[in-house]
Structure 1
């Protein structure tokens, strides 16, 4: 059976896709349409009780792009631990990292994909 996220998360995810941050928009341009060595990424995906910024289900890789509100966030650690327990790997980048050096961010994601057997 397919996972059905809570309706409120589906609506929130839809809104987040319509109004991405600058960093999310930049990274989506690099990831969309299998542009990063054929890996299929989806954006703003509701899964369980969370909304993932980017996820590649084939390689069980979650990519999060965070702003200042995530600094020292204990809930992010709990969330990451939950997804790791489900077999996902989680990469986190700051908005500034994406905006100032998108190439390095993409290389890090690519390295993680290759480690999973892309």
Structure 2
């Protein structure tokens, strides 16, 4: 499948680099499991798209993974708008809470594995 690069605001490149250097603990935990083509596809961290940055993204299957921490509790409308705009480009989303990643990693990884299989077929 041909990778489709989604355009992004150039200023986000610097911010994405900072976010990669200052990852949250759940992001670090998940990254340890999905990096280096662990599921047969390559994920990237803190990927700029349009006017946003997603936590993890696989260009091959257009899958974004978001880990929602406390900052997302009051931003439901923003997250929905952002996700809707990116879905217009064919991006699919998986969302997990910080607690899911910290306390239910096995279940999180099963969901990711199933979604990767579904989108790879």
TM-score by length of 1: 0.91
Task: Specify every segment of 5 or more residues in structure 2 that has no aligned partner in the other structure, as ranges.
Answer: none
Runs ≥4 residues deviating over 2 A: 2-8
- Aligned partner (choices 9, 28, 33) of residue 31 of structure 2: 28
Instruction: Give, in angstroms, the shift of residue 62 of structure 1.
Output: 0.4
Deviation track 1:76-105 (CA, whole Å, cap 9, x = no partner) reads: 001111111111111110011001111111
Report the RMSD for the aligned CA atoms in angstroms: 1.5
In the comparison of the two structures, how many residue pairs are matched? 116
Q: Secondary structure of the equivalent of 1:116?
A: helix
State which of 87, 91, 94 in structure 1 corresponds to 2:94: 91
Return the alpha-carbon distance in structure 2 between the equivalents of residues 88 and 70 of structure 1.
20
Q: Displacement, 1:9?
A: 1.0
* Structure 1: segments with no counterpart, 5+ residues: none
TM-score, length-normalised on structure 2? 0.88
